[in-house]
Each structure stands twice: as C-alpha cells, then as structure tokens.
Amino acid sequence: MISTPHDDINALLDVLLTRMQSVLHDTLVGLYLYGSRVAGDFDHDLSDIDMLAVISKNVNKHEYTALKTMHEAIAREYTEWNDRIEVQYASLSALRTFKTKRSTIVTISPGEPIHFIRAGKDWLLNWYDLQEKGVALIGPHQKTIIPFISKGEYVNTVKESALYWRKRIQEYTPQSSRGRCAYIIFAMCRMLYGHRRGSQISKMRAAIWAAKKFPQWAPLIADTISWRKVQWEKEQKGVGSALRKINEFVDVTLHQILRK
C-alpha cells in the first residue's frame, strides 16, 4: 500500500482495501487513487478521496449489498470522511470498452449514496486524470487497464463538458445554493485550463490560475473559494444576485474554450 503524508488517510485506505477484498475477494483486480490526493492541492478538511476499484466482472446484487453496508459502516466509524469518499467499481470489460459503449458500474460519491449507473465516454475526463496522475494502491499500472486517451480526445471532451455546464447553469435560480454554483465555477476554471494546457489539475489550482489569468473575475473566484467550504451543508444561503455574474463567467469561459 502506498503511503501518503497523512497517517489518518493511510489508515483509512488500509481499511477500505481490506474491506473491499473481504467483499470482492479475487475479483478485485486493482485499486487506484486519483484526483487531488495525488495531483496536488489536497485540502485535508474539504477534499474528497477519489478511487477506482477495478474488478474482473460486474458487481452482483449480493456484492452490491455488502459494499453498501461496508460504506455505511465506514461513514459511521470515520465521521470526518463521511460523504468525502468517492469510489467507482468498474469491471475490466467496462473500462476497456468505455469509449465505444456504456456499461453498468457502481459508484459512491459526495452527495449521493452508492448506486448503479451506466458509464461510458462521459467518464473520459476522470479516466484521463487517472491515466496521467493516478497511483496503483494494488494491481497493475492503470495504463494497462484503460485504453490510451490522447490529449486531443481529452480536449474535445472538455469542450463537450463545458457545453453541458452551460446548460446546467441555466437551470439555476437566485435561490440555488452557493455551494452548487461554486462547483460549476470550479469546473469551468478547470476545463479552461485543461483546454489550454491539455492536462487536468485540481479545482483549486485551476481557480487560482483563472483568477490570475482573468483578474476581472478574481473577486467572483475568491467568493467561490469561500462558498466551496459549505458545498454539502444542508442549510446554505442562496447565490442571490451573484447568479448574473456567474452566468457571465460561464459564458466567457465557454467562449474561450470553443473558439479554437
């Protein structure tokens, strides 16, 4: 098991791996860490722990129930990490064919309970991040499991994702939470960086980069950083009149991403 600079995270990873193995047994091919924990700018008080568990076959109903029970127990035992653990349980077949078809995988992520989803090319940004910066906790190197993703494929998917968030922000109202609006601003900052540089960095680093690159948006980005801290709190203030500025920011960044 790889060692991180944080003893509590090392202990948590050990527990997660041990309990995954007790549920999945020999079907667990590998466990991979990616996201801010390995890419940099991990915030010990706020950031999620992102992982991919690769299995030799799809999760069955019995395994799904056992994984659900496992994650619920970990949330009770490690309260500081409750709702901050994100894991995808994907089969080798699903990963090797994700560019051409959608397959059933299991996922648990902040704000959502463990559940089945159909995943395909819409996960390319995640798998590119894993390809470029992921770390194998156990198992073979991730590049032997996931088909190679070129920089061009990554940039094209960034454009598609930016269009998606442009549609999503149009659904928001002044009563929409600041935390959820912050997520969109962070996402647009990271996509703009990815489009220009061909690589994915943490949301925080992308926001800091965008504030320097576009100083006129620095105040909004500064507000976003403060809003992020309450993203998943049940009681949040609405974004209010700032929604207009957020829409303008999304329009400007989208124009930057689509112009080339």
Domain boundary assignment for the chain: 7-144, 151-258
Give the whole-angstrom CA distance, residue 58 versus residue 42: 31
Q: What is the pLDDT of residue 23?
A: 98
Distance of CA 254 to the CA centre of its chain: 20
Average pLDDT over residues 238-253: 94
DSSP β-ladder status, 85-91 and 49-55: parallel
Digit-coded pLDDT (tens) for 177-201: 888 899 899 999 999 999 999 888 8
Structure tokens at 155: 């940039």
Phi, psi of 93 (to 5 degrees): -65, -45
Sign of CA dihedral 147, 152, 158, 159: negative
Average pLDDT over residues 69-90: 95
Q: What angle do CA 16, 22, 27 make, to 5 degrees?
A: 100
Q: Is the pLDDT of residue 38 over 90?
A: no
- Identify whether the C-beta of residue 36 lies closer than 8 Å to the C-beta of residue 204: yes
Average pLDDT over residues 215-223: 95
Residue 90 bridge partners (DSSP): 54
Digit-coded pLDDT (tens) for 112-155: 999 999 999 999 999 999 999 899 999 999 999 999 999 999 99
Across 164-168, 211-215, 219-223, 231-235, least confident range? 231-235
Give the whole-angstrom CA distance, residue 72 versus residue 58: 21
**pLDDT category, 46, cuts 50, 70, 90?**
confident
**pLDDT category, 158, cuts 50, 70, 90?**
very high
Q: What is the pLDDT of residue 7?
A: 83
**pLDDT category, 202, cuts 50, 70, 90?**
confident
Q: What is the pLDDT of residue 39?
A: 62
Q: What is the dotted CATH code of the domain comprising 7-144? A: 3.30.460
Q: What is the pLDDT of residue 235?
A: 53
Secondary structure letter of residue 224 according to DSSP = H
What's the first-to-final CA gap in the chain, in angstroms? 43
Secondary structure letter of residue 237 according to DSSP = -
Q: What is the pLDDT of residue 45?
A: 73
Structure tokens at 9: 């995270």
Virtual CA dihedral for 92, 95, 97, 102, nearest 10 degrees?
Answer: 110
